[in-house]
């Protein structure tokens, strides 16, 4: 066999690597192979593999690059059919190299996790090499989008790598994310551990370790493809524009009707002001009192934060954490932010206060105030006191503050404010305790009137709900050239 024939044989084996009993084993586990995942993610015929000759056809991970809808994307996919995808010195080097190349090329990185963990016989070598991976991931943060798919086990150091990503999707019935494997937890704390997979897909999206949930791997890959359509390739670019745009001259009377009938559901509102079928909800299951979404408005990507009107428990610690994480991601990748405001303010809770609520609450203010992207707030319902300051105030964070005529803006919770301002009138009633509601109803519209807030300059304009989409697009379009002078610094010292 000459050298050309040898190379041809190796290339044939590389192409047929999945056509073995191992492929059938993986399918019996209801999982795709590492190569199948990559080929389904990337455009047909675009995948170029790197490092396939490293120790046994790549030694447990497949790495390379290709395109998604014509855009350059780098990817690595752990190969469970090779020693359970166990981490070795060699596959750590392959992962590091592809991450490094993604950073140099300024292109998104997709990481597909499916590994039993570290190969213990590797000793300290693998510890050193995986340390390089974690360091590289940290250095790429805010530079290129890093997207994780958890298609199998992702425990120990891999869980750190996964949760550092900008976006993450976990697959039902196969994905698992945790610092410790379930078997070790049961061995250590058998009395206290629920043996029904503490780190399974459902738990991982509820505790915030992972952002999105997919019923199978094909759905997970499609979610990632859609995300890539919404984000820039790196922090120096803008998000790609969608080919289909809206007719901004058509007014949406449905929004007027929702306001008149006092049936303003936040999800419906977002659906009406964004392009058709363009919603991607991030961290849907983690703290449902607030929504964080990527949408398209007339083809342009916008990050939306909005109170879910079905959950009016007030701003709590998880609420603050969810918003600050989302805002930082949008700011990294030049995605404008729209805040849809309907909040009574911060939650009143002894437990929250005991756990350092003020520190968490400051995360919202700091993340929004320090974000340099265009920021617009639209008050659609209540905006009281500190809730207004954190989520709507131009003075604190936003470039433009708008309101619907249904907005209610007040220094604090209006019932208490009325009781204080009109204390003498209430005291003069025959039965003050029972009849104070009459006084509250009498003055509540006056105390929360958005037109008074506009007169004092707290909001820039009151708009018709039916005109929301074209007005938002016009404002965001105007803000595209936004520039701010800032004090020179490395970063803020706030604990976020």
Paired tokens of 324: 């600050």
User: Is 219 in the same domain as 277?
Assistant: no
CATH number (domain holding residue 118)? 3.90.226.10
CB 103 within 8 A of CB 236: no
User: Is 258 in the same domain as 226?
Assistant: no
Closest to 139 (Cα-Cα) out of 235, 30, 257: 235
Structural domains counted in the chain: 2
Domain residues for 170? Answer: 3-230
Torsion of CA 364, 370, 372, 377, to 10 degrees: 30
Q: What is the DSSP letter of 43?
A: P
User: Is 83 in the same domain as 216?
Assistant: yes
User: Is 202 in the same domain as 264?
Assistant: no
Mean pLDDT in runs of 10 for the chain (496 residues)?
79 61 82 94 95 70 96 96 85 94 98 86 81 95 97 90 96 88 57 56 88 95 97 96 80 90 88 93 91 95 86 80 95 97 85 85 92 96 91 95 94 79 72 70 83 94 96 95 83 66
Q: Quick one: pLDDT at residue 52?
A: 78
Closest to 388 (Cα-Cα) out of 404, 406, 415, 408: 408
Evaluate whether residue 241 is within a structural domain: no
Evaluate whether residue 99 is within a structural domain: yes
- Three-state secondary structure call for residue 346: strand
Question: How many Å apart are CA 372 and CA 270, to the nearest integer?
Answer: 23
Evaluate whether residue 248 is within a structural domain: no
Q: Quick one: pLDDT at residue 195?
A: 45
User: Is 21 in the same domain as 112?
Assistant: yes
Question: How many Å apart are CA 205 and CA 286, to the nearest integer?
Answer: 6
Evaluate whether residue 70 is within a structural domain: yes
User: Is 299 in the same domain as 154?
Assistant: no
Evaluate whether residue 441 is within a structural domain: no
Question: How many Å apart are CA 71 and CA 85, to the nearest integer?
Answer: 28
Evaluate whether residue 127 is within a structural domain: yes
Evaluate whether residue 430 is within a structural domain: no
User: Is 98 in the same domain as 135?
Assistant: yes
Strand partners, 177: 154
Q: What is the DSSP letter of 89?
A: H
Paired tokens of 145: 């989008």
């Amino acid at each position: 066999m000459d050298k050309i024939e040898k190379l041809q044989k190796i290339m044939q084996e590389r192409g047929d690597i999945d056509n073995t009993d191992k492929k059938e084993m993986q399918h019996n586990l209801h999982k795709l192979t590492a190569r199948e995942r990559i080929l389904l993610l990337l455009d047909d015929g675009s995948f170029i593999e790197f490092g396939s000759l490293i120790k046994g056809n790549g030694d447990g991970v497949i790495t390379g690059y290709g395109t998604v809808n014509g855009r350059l994307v780098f990817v690595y996919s752990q190969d469970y059919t090779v020693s359970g995808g166990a981490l070795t010195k060699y596959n750590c080097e392959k992962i590091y190299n592809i991450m490094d190349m993604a950073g140099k090329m300024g292109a998104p990185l997709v990481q597909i996790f499916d590994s039993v963990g570290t190969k213990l016989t590797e000793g300290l070598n693998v510890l050193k090499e995986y340390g390089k991976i974690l360091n590289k991931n940290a250095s790429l943060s805010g530079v290129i989008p890093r997207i994780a798919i958890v298609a199998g086990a992702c425990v120990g150091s891999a869980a750190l790598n996964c949760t550092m990503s900008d976006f993450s999707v976990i697959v039902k019935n196969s994905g698992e994310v945790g610092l410790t494997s379930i078997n070790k937890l049961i061995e250590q704390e058998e009395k206290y551990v629920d043996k029904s997979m503490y780190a399974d897909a459902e738990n991982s999206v509820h505790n915030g370790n992972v952002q999105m949930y997919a019923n199978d791997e094909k759905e997970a890959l499609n979610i990632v493809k859609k995300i890539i359509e919404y984000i820039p390739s790196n922090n120096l670019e803008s998000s790609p524009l969608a080919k289909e745009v809206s007719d901004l001259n058509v007014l949406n009377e449905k929004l007027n009707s929702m306001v008149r009938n006092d049936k303003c559901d936040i999800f419906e509102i977002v659906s009406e002001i964004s392009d058709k079928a363009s919603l991607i909800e991030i961290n849907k299951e983690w703290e449902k009192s607030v929504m964080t979404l990527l949408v398209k408005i007339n083809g342009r990507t916008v990050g939306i934060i909005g109170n879910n009107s079905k959950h009016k428990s007030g701003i709590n610690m998880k609420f603050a954490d969810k918003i600050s994480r989302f805002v930082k991601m949008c700011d990294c990748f030049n995605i404008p932010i729209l805040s849809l405001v309907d909040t009574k303010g911060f939650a009143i809770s002894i437990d929250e206060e005991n756990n350092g609520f003020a520190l968490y609450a400051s995360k919202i203010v700091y993340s929004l105030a320090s974000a340099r992207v265009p920021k617009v707030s639209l008050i659609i319902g209540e905006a009281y006191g500190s809730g207004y300051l954190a989520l709507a105030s131009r003075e604190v964070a936003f470039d433009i503050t708008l309101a619907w005529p249904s907005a209610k803006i007040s220094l604090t919770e209006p019932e208490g404010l009325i009781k204080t301002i009109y204390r003498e009138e209430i005291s003069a009633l025959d039965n003050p305790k029972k009849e104070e509601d009459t006084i509250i109803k009498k003055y509540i519209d006056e105390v929360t009137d958005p037109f008074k807030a506009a007169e004092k300059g707290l909001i820039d304009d009151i708009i018709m709900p039916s005109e929301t989409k074209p007005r938002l697009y016009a404002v965001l379009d105007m803000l595209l050239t936004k520039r701010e002078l800032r004090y020179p610094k490395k970063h803020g010292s706030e604990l976020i």
